[in-house]
């Protein structure tokens, strides 16, 4: 608790930084102020009043034992110093950005005799071209790897000089080495790679899709899975180039969503009316305040970004001193959209940020890897949490039955297991039985629909399940079938199975669910048989 001596001190009336410390000298909180005396004194109100305003402040003040101040020339300097101290000390009660050292860039050395690219943690005022910043080094490295594989661009942290020996890198990838001869082919490829890094991914997307389809057609499932992973990396680095704004404006959309002491900042870049890139950043703290998150992010991200966007759409208005800081280099308009043609795109970004936060929190849960793998494997735009599966048991013409099992977040949810006596089908017609059970299940409007509904079988079983859905009142988000030996996934209107590696965690989960519904329906069928035998006796 702060002593009366500390409370009675006279603090400067100038702009500066104030630092709360505990009894061990550890920094608890760093804050900035236009007037230090006024701001620091605001913490000396009764704890009861502080709890009403912002409960975490009351906790922090109770833990604090001392206060230090640093005066600066103006509020802008205070903002910069605050950011530096928070990064250096990571105080307990300040908002912290995950992996926030410095954001990585891809640097293209255009002013060298032999152009190259590399990873850079800072922007310099040189003649190089910078792409980014990116959320983390993994995203930047994925883009560089795609540039190397498909465009033959040379990646090096050192300046390249002509020699008579091809580098190991180009021998591995089979490209003309710029160290041997700077041919027009390499310069052309380098120019194409720059377009790719700017966000023009259409050509590469088409190429990867064609190669993946060909590999799948030739039953080269491991290769197809690898190509699918590359396609996923490409999709993660950019979104579809759909024109949303008719006036071809360029701007950024920054949205903040919070939950469970975690905040997600969604950064979406629109270039000439097209949503060209999407990144998400995560903040952690014992307390999360949307205003503090947006202020911290705008300072940390845009302070060194050049050029700045002329327009920035946000869902939380930043503080005036943050706006002043960003306007030191060039004018930037920051606003919360209420109407107009940009509103639809803004709302799309806001929803996506919420989805990304839910995804991030899910990743931290025990069964997250299974569900994330399933999402990527099926190319879904959401993480599936509820999965149901159907199977039929028909031993001769005696007591045919169907059953459905339900899984929630990778675990069986027996509250939603269901058993079905076949009513409308006679004889050994498993396909028609699937249709009946599916229709009955999805005519139950009181029961929530699953994210994924799976049929035990191949494309024929899937077709009959689709016929049942066509006559039902509700539908799942996606329906698939899973065949055995080897396990193969079929999608509606696709003759060939999905290209999936047998090591995929998502495939293992589906196999587990398929085995569970098979066990459940067989158990039900045997009980029916035993009951009938007892009655006959």
Burial category of 101 from C-beta neighbours within 10 Å (exposed 0-12, middle 13-18, buried 19 and up):
exposed
pLDDT of residue 99: 40
Determine which helix (DSSP H) or strand (DSSP E) holds 388, and give its type and residue range: strand 386-395
Question: pLDDT tens, 132-190?
Answer: 666 556 677 878 888 887 777 777 766 666 553 445 455 444 445 544 445 677 788 88
**Is the backbone of residue 273 left (phi > 0), alpha (psi -120 to 50) or beta?**
left
Are 439 and 372 a contacting pair, CB within 8 Å? Answer: no
pLDDT of residue 240: 33
Is pLDDT at 80 greater than 90 in this prediction? no
Cβ–Cβ contacts within 10 Å for residue 503, how many?
Answer: 10
Q: Which range has the top average pLDDT, 87-91, 343-347, 431-435, 530-534?
A: 431-435
Question: pLDDT tens, 43-67?
Answer: 888 766 765 556 677 778 888 889 9
**Joined tokens for residue 447:** 């029961």
Query: Rounded to whole angstroms, what are the CA distances from 391 to 86, 322, 401, 429, 434?
Result: 57, 59, 9, 13, 7
Cβ–Cβ contacts within 10 Å for residue 511, how many?
Answer: 14
pLDDT of residue 36: 92
pLDDT of residue 279: 82
State the average pLDDT over residues 389-417.
Answer: 88
Question: pLDDT tens, 87-116?
Answer: 778 788 887 654 444 557 788 888 887 888
pLDDT > 90: percent of the chain: 26
State the average pLDDT over residues 427-449.
Answer: 92
State the average pLDDT over residues 1-14.
Answer: 78
Instruction: Tell me how far apart the alpha carbons of residues 306 and 304 are, in angstroms, rounded to a whole number.
Output: 6
Burial category of 238 from C-beta neighbours within 10 Å (exposed 0-12, middle 13-18, buried 19 and up):
buried
Confidence of residue 246 (pLDDT cuts 50, 70, 90): very low
Domains in the chain, ordered, with CATH?
4-94 (3.40.1440.10), 105-201 (no CATH), 251-362 (3.30.420.340), 386-536 (3.30.420.340)
Determine which helix (DSSP H) or strand (DSSP E) holds 361, and give its type and residue range: helix 342-363
pLDDT of residue 205: 82
pLDDT > 70: percent of the chain: 83
State the average pLDDT over residues 453-462.
Answer: 95
Comparison of pLDDT for 194 and 7, the residue scoring more: 194
**Joined tokens for residue 523:** 């158990």
Cβ–Cβ contacts within 10 Å for residue 261, how many?
Answer: 11
Instruction: Tell me how far apart the alpha carbons of residues 457 and 461 are, in angstroms, rounded to a whole number.
Output: 6
In this structure, is the dihedral angle defined by the CA atoms of residues 131, 136, 137 and 142, taken in order, positive or negative? negative
Say what the pTM is. 0.40
Question: pLDDT tens, 266-303?
Answer: 998 887 766 667 788 888 776 678 888 899 899 888 87
Which of 30-44, 223-237, 369-383, 472-486 comes out lowest in average pLDDT?
223-237
Q: What is the mean pLDDT of the chain?
A: 81
State the average pLDDT over residues 410-433.
Answer: 90
Instruction: Tell me how far apart the alpha carbons of residues 226 and 212 are, in angstroms, rounded to a whole number.
Output: 8
Instruction: Tell me how far apart the alpha carbons of residues 199 and 289 are, in angstroms, rounded to a whole number.
Output: 33
Is pLDDT at 74 greater than 60 in this prediction? yes
Confidence of residue 446 (pLDDT cuts 50, 70, 90): confident
Are 447 and 478 a contacting pair, CB within 8 Å? Answer: no
pLDDT of residue 374: 92
Is pLDDT at 23 greater than 70 in this prediction? yes
State the average pLDDT over residues 409-415.
Answer: 87
Comparison of pLDDT for 426 and 126, the residue scoring more: 426
pLDDT of residue 248: 60
Are 336 and 349 a contacting pair, CB within 8 Å? Answer: no
Are 374 and 363 a contacting pair, CB within 8 Å? Answer: no
State the average pLDDT over residues 434-463.
Answer: 94
Q: Which of 315, 215, 188, 185 is nearest to 256 (CA)?
A: 315
State the average pLDDT over residues 378-407.
Answer: 88
Confidence of residue 390 (pLDDT cuts 50, 70, 90): very high
Q: How far from chain centre, in Å, is Cα 198?
A: 20
């Amino acid at each position: 608790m702060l002593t009366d001596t500390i409370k009675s001190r006279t603090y400067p009336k100038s702009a500066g930084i104030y630092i709360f410390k505990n009894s061990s000298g550890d920094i608890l909180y760093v804050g900035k102020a236009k007037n230090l005396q006024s701001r620091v004194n605001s913490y000396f109100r009764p704890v009861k009043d502080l709890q009403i305003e912002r409960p975490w402040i009351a906790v922090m003040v109770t833990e604090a034992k001392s206060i230090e101040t640093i005066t600066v020339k103006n509020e802008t300097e205070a903002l910069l110093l605050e950011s530096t101290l928070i990064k250096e000390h990571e105080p307990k009660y300040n908002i912290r950005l995950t992996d926030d050292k410095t954001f990585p860039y891809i640097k293209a050395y255009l002013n060298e005799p032999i152009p190259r690219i590399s990873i850079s943690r800072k922007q310099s005022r040189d003649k190089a071209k910078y792409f980014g910043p990116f959320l983390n080094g993994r995203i930047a490295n994925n883009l560089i790897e795609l540039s190397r594989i498909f465009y033959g661009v040379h990646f090096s942290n050192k300046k390249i000089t002509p020699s008579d020996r091809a580098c190991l890198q180009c021998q591995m990838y089979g490209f003309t080495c710029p160290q041997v001869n700077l041919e027009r082919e390499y310069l052309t490829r380098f120019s194409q790679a720059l377009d790719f890094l700017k966000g023009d991914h259409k050509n590469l997307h088409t190429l990867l899709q064609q190669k993946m389809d060909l590999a799948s057609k030739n039953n080269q499932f491991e290769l197809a899975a690898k190509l699918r992973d590359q396609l996923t990396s490409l999709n993660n680095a950019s979104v579809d180039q759909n024109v949303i704004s008719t006036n071809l404006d360029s701007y950024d959309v920054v949205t903040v969503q919070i939950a469970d002491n975690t905040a997600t900042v969604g950064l979406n870049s629109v270039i000439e009316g097209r949503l060209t890139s999407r990144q998400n950043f995560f903040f952690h703290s014992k307390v999360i305040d949307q205003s503090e998150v947006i202020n911290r992010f705008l300072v940390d991200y845009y302070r060194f970004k050049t050029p700045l966007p002329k327009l920035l759409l946000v869902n939380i208005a930043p503080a005036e001193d943050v706006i002043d800081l960003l306007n030191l280099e060039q004018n930037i308009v920051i606003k919360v959209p209420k109407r107009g043609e940009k509103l639809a795109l803004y709302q799309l970004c806001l929803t996506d940020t919420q989805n990304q936060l839910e995804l991030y929190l899910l990743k931290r849960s025990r069964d997250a890897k299974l569900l994330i793998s399933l999402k990527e494997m099926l190319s879904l735009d959401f993480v599936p949490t509820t999965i149901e599966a159907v199977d039929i048991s028909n031993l001769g013409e005696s007591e045919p039955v169907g059953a459905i099992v339900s899984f929630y977040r990778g675990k069986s949810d027996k509250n939603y297991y269901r058993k079905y006596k076949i009513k409308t089908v006679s004889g050994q017609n498993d396909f028609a039985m699937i249709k009946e059970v599916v229709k009955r299940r999805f005519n139950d409007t009181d029961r929530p629909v699953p994210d994924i509904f799976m049929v035990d079988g191949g494309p024929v079983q899937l077709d009959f399940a689709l016929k049942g859905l066509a006559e039902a009142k509700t539908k799942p988000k996606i329906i698939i079938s899973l065949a055995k030996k080897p396990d193969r996934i079929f999608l509606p209107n696709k003759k060939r199975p999905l290209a999936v590696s047998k090591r995929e965690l998502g495939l293992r989960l589906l196999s587990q669910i398929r085995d569970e519904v098979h066990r459940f329906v067989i158990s039900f069928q045997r009980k029916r048989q035993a009951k009938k035998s007892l009655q006959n006796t």
